[in-house]
Amino acid sequence: MSQIRRVKLAAIQAIKTIGGFERLANSRWRQKRLLILCYHGISLEDEHLWRPTLYVSADMLENRLRAIKAMECSVLPLGEALNLLRTGDLPPRSVVITFDDGTYDFYKQAWPRLQRYNFPATVYQTTYYSDREMPIFNLICSYMLWKRRETPLEPVREFGIHEPRDLSTEEGRIQVVTGLVALSERDRLSGQQKNELARRLADALGIDFSSLSSKRVLHLMNAREVAEVGRVSVDVQLHGHRHRTPRDEMSFRQEIRVNRERIQALTGRDANHFCYPSGAYRQEFVGWLQKEHVVSATTCDPGLVQINDELFRLPRFLDTSLRTQVEFDSWLSGAAALMAMRRSVSPRYIRE
């Protein structure tokens, strides 16, 4: 942990100790602001150890939901919260809970817990893999390499690997994944063919790919599961069909259209809120989203949403395994927002 982070956490703890969290949480200042929480994955096994900047454990999520309830936050559906913000009618300590990608671990780990607490949630759902019950190619390759990080990868000629590769470092594993993605693009592999490539990597690593796949690690919710959550208590919204943001307008808008059509077909509901894949957004995207009748878009930029914020770059607090409980509580109360200048944790508004 860096010295700056230690100082920041110490300051947050001091504010809590003197009752600052409670006063801010009950203040008119906080009531005028909306906190949008962002989660990516809830570990089925050890994914939070593999990607602590994206995943949290099931126990950590339980602690977060318990804290939300203990602070008596008003947990709202996204669309309702944005409408109440605009009219100045937000209830005290307003919170929206969002999950990106729509992975199977949401269905297995998060959704039952949300139901127990009676908390609504928004899932920004990519849809390509929802129609294909297989793991996301680049992620499953990265995860399997991490699982074998203590053993060098022996040469595999069909992968273009002609000498042993060190898997003990993130850099070494990224190089292998980058090579596999390049190979799949060069050969224009289909989703099924990429899955077979991942299976061959598993064989080279000594991993039982069938067993791993049966656990649905790094799978998206399938069509039945998306339909089930979307028709009960979850607001399923747009995240791009293939989790990408093409630079040309027609391809970008086609991503939105296909994504929306699949969500509507599965849930019977319209989808008009969008989350930028990987948090990266550009100025021209706003006009393209508006042409597709999208009404809001969320980023991964930290902050509380205020009444005059632009609807197409709404900030969220990205919760991860690296966030302490007191840090999370500070965002619920609003104390963290007073201490942090809004900045991006991933590419922001990119201008030519």
Q: Are residues 287 and 238 in the same domain?
A: yes
Tell me the CATH number at 240.
Answer: 3.20.20.370
Helix axes 325-333, 3-17, angle to 10 degrees: 60
Q: Is the pLDDT of residue 347 over 70?
A: no
Q: Are residues 240 and 166 in the same domain?
A: no
Residue 344 pLDDT:
40
Compute the distance between CA of residue 18 and CA of residue 5 in angstroms, rounded to an integer: 20
Q: Are residues 157 and 259 in the same domain?
A: no
Query: pTM of the prediction?
Result: 0.92
Q: Are residues 160 and 195 in the same domain?
A: yes
Q: State how many domains the chain has.
A: 2
Residue 7 pLDDT:
83
Q: Are residues 244 and 203 in the same domain?
A: no
Q: Are residues 176 and 84 in the same domain?
A: no
Domain boundary among 180, 214, 248: 214
Can you give the length of the chain in residues? 352
Q: Are residues 242 and 305 in the same domain?
A: yes
| Domain containing residue 103 | 3-131+219-350
- pLDDT digit string, tens, across residues 119-178: 999 999 999 989 888 999 999 999 999 999 999 999 998 898 999 999 999 999 999 999
Compute the distance between CA of residue 15 and CA of residue 332 in angstroms, rounded to an integer: 13
Domain boundary among 214, 240, 256: 214
Q: Are residues 233 and 313 in the same domain?
A: yes
Q: Are residues 334 and 313 in the same domain?
A: yes
- pLDDT digit string, tens, across residues 286-340: 999 999 999 999 999 999 999 999 999 999 999 999 999 999 999 999 998 887 6
Report the mean per-residue pLDDT for the chain.
93
Q: Are residues 153 and 96 in the same domain?
A: no
Q: Are residues 14 and 28 in the same domain?
A: yes
Domain boundary among 165, 195, 214: 214
Q: Are residues 153 and 181 in the same domain?
A: yes
